[in-house]
Amino acid sequence: MDDLDRLYYEFVEILRRERPSALSEPMTVLEVHDELIPYRRVRNPAGLRSNDDYELALSRLLAGERSYVLGDSSVQDELRAGIEEKLPDIRRYRAFPDARVWLNAALIPPPGHIRYAPPELRDRSEWRDPPGQDVSPHPDDEVEPETGAAEAPIDAVQNCPACQAEVPGRATYCPFCGVRLVPGACQSCGAVLEPVWHFCPECGAARADGPDSA
């Protein structure tokens, strides 16, 4: 996963939370970089180290890399040409403020833990098995418990949804980036807050248990 993936998943999360109609409607390039995902807003959640990293990732997104975003082919060709120059022109998108782009509906991730969740990670989650499907092991796959001295249990590990570092399965917060790893409760209305949510889906209150809260 790289800056482009992280920026895209943050983009989808913002649209789903604040402007769901834009998940299926065109947006102008100006709207995307100036209103929806400006650098100041996405640099921390998307893990962008500098404004140049942001503009390169945004240029790749608007140019249609990985087919995350669709748009006018001539504009996207022009943006790709700028990126591929010996000295990449990562601000060429500013020349097309009125060009329209839209999300590729076939690649929009499902609601839930969508931040930083590319297909290879979703394959390891609950999306892999449709609800109601029998996932019990085949009889031939069952292993009889061994007798004798029991081996010491091995702590399970999990991947932080924000920085992808391996952390102990029992951890409540990521020791590397501070993101909460288990659901919490909204202090305003008591609704369940998933680990990567910044705001309550019921009352809209900002969560108070993030890594930056006092």
pLDDT tens digits, 49-88: 999 999 999 999 999 999 999 999 999 999 999 999 999 9
153 three-state secondary structure:
coil
Residue among 203, 165, 207, 151 at smallest CA distance from 184: 207
**pLDDT band, residue 171 (cuts 50/70/90):** confident
Mean pLDDT of 196-205: 74
The pTM for the full model equals 0.55
Burial 99-114 (b: 16+ CB within 10 A, else e): bebebeeeebbeeebb
**Cβ-contact 183, 192 below 8 angstroms:** yes
Percent of the chain with pLDDT over 70: 72
Angle at 24 between CA 21 and CA 30, to 5 degrees: 80
Query: Considering the chain, what is the average pLDDT of its residues?
Result: 77
Q: What would the two tokens of residue 22 be?
A: 């834009």
Q: What is the pLDDT of residue 122?
A: 40
Distance in angstroms (rounded) separating the CA atoms of residues 12 and 23? 8
Q: Report whether pLDDT(118) > 50.
A: no
Q: Which residue has the higher pLDDT, 64 or 207?
A: 64
**Tens digits of residue pLDDT in 11-20:** 999 999 999 9
Question: What backbone torsions phi and psi does residue 184 show, to the nearest 5 degrees?
Answer: -125, -175
Q: Residue 191 carries which DSSP code?
A: -
Q: Report whether pLDDT(124) > 60.
A: no
Distance in angstroms (rounded) separating the CA atoms of residues 185 and 74? 48
Percent of the chain with pLDDT over 90: 46
Distance in angstroms (rounded) separating the CA atoms of residues 212 and 31? 28
Q: Which residue has the higher pLDDT, 78 or 181?
A: 78
Amino acid at 170: R
Q: What would the two tokens of residue 169 be?
A: 């399965």
Q: Residue 102 carries which DSSP code?
A: E
Distance in angstroms (rounded) separating the CA atoms of residues 140 and 154? 25
Mean pLDDT of 124-139: 42
Residue among 175, 149, 146, 145 at smallest CA distance from 160: 175
